[in-house]
Amino acid sequence: MRKLADRQIGTLGKAGEEAACRYLESKGFTIEGRNLVYGKHELDIVCSDSRWVVFCEVKTRTSADKRASRFGGAISSVTIEKQNNTVAAAREFLKTYSKRRFPRFDVIEVYFKKDESGKVESGNPERINHIPGAFRGTRKRY
């Protein structure tokens, strides 16, 4: 396992992951790891509470992003391939994870506003949409 270099995560994505971590901590989760890479697969955020170890895929957009409204929100970019990759990385993580918890796969959508000049206001997100159990195990593409 290796940690993803900060330069490989875009500024908007990094701000989204920061906001998602703050959100999860406010809900009582403990952050176990961020940007963990297993082979060619990455886990954005791994967190836990007394019952779950949660593998979070974070998708960050601006509110003005046309893709966010036209194609069903940021979650629509979590393809079956991405889900399978996340599950593969989670299996590797769980091989060395010592706590007994049920695994869960969540998606967290983070939306930021743009100011009048078109710059993203990345301090506080306009909206966070947490989708617990957004997907399960490996699925096949048909």
pLDDT in tens, the chain (142 residues): 555 544 445 788 899 999 999 999 999 999 999 999 999 999 999 999 999 999 999 999 887 555 545 556 777 788 899 999 999 999 999 999 988 899 999 999 999 987 777 777 767 888 999 999 999 875 544 3
pLDDT of residue 72: 62
Which residues neighbour 12 within 8 Å (Cβ) at sequence distance 6 or greater? 60, 62, 112, 120, 122
Number of H-type helices and E-type strands within the chain: 3, 6
Distance between CA atoms of residues 42 and 26, nearest Å: 24
Distance between CA atoms of residues 138 and 44, nearest Å: 18
The number of residues in the chain equals 142
pLDDT of residue 6: 45
pLDDT of residue 113: 85
Closest CA to 56 of 89, 26, 81, 80: 89
Closest CA to 60 of 7, 6, 11, 22: 11
- Tell which CATH classification among 3.20.20.70, 3.20.19.10, 1.10.40.30, 3.40.1350.10 matches the domain 2-134: 3.40.1350.10
pLDDT of residue 36: 96
**Residue 55 in tokens:** 């593998």
Closest CA to 22 of 34, 5, 10, 36: 34
Q: Are the CB atoms for 29 and 50 separated by under 8 Å?
A: no
pLDDT of residue 66: 52
Q: Cα angle vertex 112, ends 63, 7, to 5°?
A: 120
pTM of the model: 0.83
Distance between CA atoms of residues 136 and 14, nearest Å: 25
Distance between CA atoms of residues 32 and 55, nearest Å: 10
pLDDT of residue 74: 73
pLDDT of residue 87: 94
pLDDT of residue 120: 74
